[in-house]
Every structure is written in structure tokens, then in C-alpha cells.
Amino acid sequence: MKILLDARLYGLENAGLGRYAINLIRELQRIDKKNDYAVLLRKKYFDELKLGNNWKKILADFRHYSAKEQLLLPKIISNYGPDMAHFLHFNVPIFYRGKFVVTIHDLLMHKEKGKRSTTLPAYAYHIKRAGYKLVFHRAAKRASQIIVPSNDVASEVISYYHLGADKVRVIYEGVDPRISVNRYVAKALTKFSLDRQYFMYAGNVFPHKNIERALEAVSLIKTKEGKTPILLVITKESEFSKRLMSTAIRMRTEEFLKIISQVSDEELGTLMKNSLGFIFPSLSEGFGLPGLEAMSIGTLVLASDIPVFREIYKDNAIYFNPYDFSSIRGSMQTVIDMKEGDRKRRISEGKKFTKRYSWEKTARATLKVYEKTA
């Protein structure tokens, strides 16, 4: 069977989407020596990515959500002649006529509307949103199978697009084994000028991530030493990260916010491990991978009390109402006041719990979808 993967979002700079591509490709290479694969890549990773003998790379240096993607990608895919294609994100070219599987990570853009959710002028935003809705609708309707990361997203997709449940397959994601803890904690803390205790968040800072409320909450608590901790945010530099800092300045909480834009996986793990806790205040998510990664290396996770987090984290997170900063503050204070024995027990239980999520399981379940589709 000839399988093509659109992996143009490969790379850590693409946050969760990038990690999904990296780990799925790595594990498919490891478990499947029988089928032939082709991977569409941007120029940045075309030479760098090493693949097995039954894999080949195809250069498709087109920006996501672009006209070139829609117009030129179908021909590139057809020239390879796959039995099926897997689009790792919803942006399937509307003129592509082949058999395909699509991964829909969430319906966040269906919910996030208006000025706060974009950096574009109003007229451009409305044009882009109309295009988004068209592409998303055709992808959902025409796909042979839809992969989603949680039952919560599955319910939303089935309801929104009036699909049969047999068309949507829930496949949980895994914990990235490359996120580890550096032995040289002091060196990492010095490098990033972290001389205060901190809560931490890693990921995009779009409006639905709700970081402003977490910042407001952290500014009003005290550690056992009577000091106010900071909120450490690991995110790529963007218009949204600039907005976050501007909001902090307006709220007069900028002294409690530190934004870092570039860290290695080892540094990320070290910063997570050394934090008071990893906070995930999102109003909506598709899965919640960063929280699992934090849990896997021994970090307490504080999370919004929303259905998807209850589904994925079970009882292994400290939950709060994401719309109420006092509830967020209360969960932070709970972590600070927690007895050392209770903290160690929760961390140990969380690490054991995350072992149920692996990228090998993700890849094997995905391969079964390919076999069913072709």
C-alpha cells in the first residue's frame, strides 16, 4: 500500500501539531516496514529529516492556509499516486479527489471568533474565516475516516457536521519521550534568569488559552516564604505573545510574567520539573498534551475543569473554574500549601498514569485506520 502523509507542519515551532507529526512519523517508521510512505515537507526539514528505506520525501514548500496549498498540492499528491493520503490537519485541498484520512485536532476556530482571535484587518479576517469554514466542511464530509484525539472532540465533530459515529475514530496521543530532565537544573535556571519560584505554562497564547486570568491569579498569591511567584510562559514569539505582555502591563502584573520563546526539549523538561506546577487554564482544548508531558516527568498539573481534561487526566490534575480567577488562585494556593508527602504521592500517581499514553499506540491505531481506508 502506498500512503502519503502531509507533514508540512512538522517541527516544534508548530506546537502540538508539530509534535503530532514528529512522533507519528517516528513511530510509523518503527512499526511498519511493509507499506510504502511518502511525506510532504516544507524546505526547513526536507534535508534534515532522515527516513527509512520504505519512506520518501516530497518537497511541498507551501504555507498552510494558502492559495498555493489549495491549487498546487493536489497535483503533487497525484503525481505520487498514493492509495490513500493522511492530512495531519484539517486543511485538505478542496480540489483533491483521492481517498484520504484527516486528523481534526479540535474545533477551536469554530468557537473563537472576532477581533481578539486574529491579527488580520476585519475584511481579511472575514475572507479567511469563510475559506476556513469551506475547507473544514469539505474535509469533514469527504474524508473516508476522521481521526480525533478525544471523545470530547469526536462528539463535537459528529454533532456539528451530522456524521455517523463509525466515520470518526478516537485515537489518543502519546507522551513525547524526548522531553527529559536536565541534571544541571541550576544551569538552566541561571540561563533563563529564574531566581523566583514559578508556575509554568507552555504552548500557544491564543485568547482561548486564558493566560491573562492565570496571570491575575498568580499575582495575588504568596509562597511559604511570603513571596509572590511568577508565571513562566514558554511560547513562540508572535503577535499574541506581544498582546499578552501588553495586557500584563495594563493590568500592572508584568513583574509576575516571564515569557521565553526558545527552549530545547531537555530545558523544557527541566523547567517543568522545577516549577511549582504546570498550569493549563484553557477554555477549550482538543486533547491537552502539554499537561500529560508535565505529569510524566513529575510535575503537578493544575487544569481547567472542562470535559476534555476530565477525560484525559482523570483524577490526576487539580481542577479549577477557568472563568473565575479566584478559583485559579485557589488551586495555586492548594499546591503551595500541599504537604510534601501529599505532593510526592500525587506526582508518583501522575507519572504512573501517563504510561497509558504512548505514541506507539497512536501509530498502531492510525495504521489500522489506513488499512481500513485503503
Rounded-to-integer distance, Cα 289 and Cα 359, Å: 12
Residues 72 and 98 in one domain: yes
Rounded Cα distance, 4 and 101, in Å: 10
Q: pLDDT tens digits for the chain (374 residues)?
A: 999 999 999 998 888 899 999 999 999 999 999 999 999 999 999 999 999 999 999 999 998 888 889 999 999 999 999 999 999 999 999 999 999 999 999 998 777 665 565 666 665 666 667 778 889 999 999 999 999 999 999 999 999 999 999 999 999 999 987 776 666 666 777 888 888 899 999 999 999 999 999 999 999 998 878 889 999 999 988 899 999 999 999 999 999 999 998 888 888 888 999 999 999 999 999 999 999 999 999 999 999 999 999 999 999 999 999 999 899 999 999 999 999 999 999 999 999 999 999 999 999 999 999 999 98
Q: Indicate whether 271 belongs to any domain.
A: yes
The CATH number of the domain holding residue 44 is: 3.40.50.2000
Grid coordinates representing 89?
490537519
- Could you tell me the pTM of the whole model? 0.91
Q: Is residue 227 part of a domain?
A: yes
348 with 363, same domain?
no
- Judge whether 179 lies within some domain: no
CB contact at 8 A, 258 and 120 = no
Whether residue 159 sits in one domain with residue 13? yes
Nearest to 300 by CA among 353, 262, 236: 353
What distance in Å separates the CA atoms of residue 160 and residue 163, rounded to the nearest whole number?
8
Return the HEC string of 260-322. Answer: ECCCCHHHHHHHHHHCCEEEECCCCCCCCHHHHHHHHCCCCEEEECCHHHHHHHCCCCEEECC
Number of domains in the chain: 2
Residues 138 and 17 in one domain: yes
Looking at the structure, do residues 365 and 323 belong to the same domain, yes or no?
no
Q: Which residue range(s) make up the domain with 299?
A: 185-354
One domain, residues 35 and 123: yes
Same-domain status, 226 and 335: yes
Pairwise CA distance, residues 76 & 112, whole Å: 33
